[in-house]
Amino acid sequence: MTGNSQTQLDAIQQQILDNNVCPELADSATQLVFGEGNPEADIVFIGEAPGKKEDLQGTPFIGAAGKFLNEMLDTIGLKREDVYITNIVKYRPPNNRDPLPEEKSVFMPYLESQLEVIKPKLTITLGRHSLNCFLPDLKIGQVHGQLESYQGRVLLPLFHPAAALYNGGKRQTLLDDFSLIPAILQKTTITA
């Protein structure tokens, strides 16, 4: 079954390329950074867009924020291979600027398709850009660590790992929020 899910994800990735999604970003980026991990994961992490290292290597969350994400996964007994990691926008914005609203909206159908294939029990949004693509009226500072519901999906908004690198106070908050994940997954039926 894993092969089938991976095949479907590969097809979505190819659609982005075939449809020439966001050509301005594609032209300024080194490559598409689609996603990585277990195609049948219980947890999907969604960031905003690839950074410089991600753009060069084609893998999401491998810079400093990715290292912190790996450390946090380790604290709850998980590894990158156990989860699926992706971003809303699949190309690095020039100079690491924030993704524009139209860039996020053009990639959302592909992200939705990824989630339909993976069918995670828990979708974790990392940062305000990711959260606001699903729930635009919520503020990450007010809802981090609290389960939210979106179109039948269970969302857990968390601060972006990069925020903890620039603001030491958020580091412990993020670790505390992260520690909730195993208990959330243990619930057989999650209602949010």
User: Could you read off the pLDDT of 103-154 as tens digits, one per residue?
Assistant: 999 999 999 999 999 999 999 999 999 999 999 999 999 999 999 999 989 9
CA neighbours closer than 13 Å in the CB half-sphere of residue 156: 23
Model confidence at 1: pLDDT above 60: no
Mean pLDDT of 31-59: 97
Phi, psi dihedral angles at 86 (to 5 degrees): -150, -175
Q: Which domains can be identified in the chain, with CATH numbers? A: 2-186 (3.40.470.10)
Q: Measure the CA–CA gap between 41 and 20, rounded to whole angstroms.
A: 28
pLDDT of amino acid 168: 84
Model confidence at 9: pLDDT above 50: yes
pLDDT of amino acid 187: 82
Contact 159, 170 (CB under 8 A): yes
Residue 84, classed as helix, strand or coil, is strand
pLDDT of amino acid 2: 53
Q: For the chain, where are the alpha helices, taking DSSP H only? A: 2-18, 23-28, 52-57, 64-75, 101-118, 128-134, 140-143, 161-166, 168-178, 181-186
User: Could you read off the pLDDT of 88-104 as tens digits, one per residue?
Assistant: 999 999 998 999 999 99
Contact 160, 99 (CB under 8 A): no
Contact 53, 63 (CB under 8 A): yes
Contact 144, 159 (CB under 8 A): yes
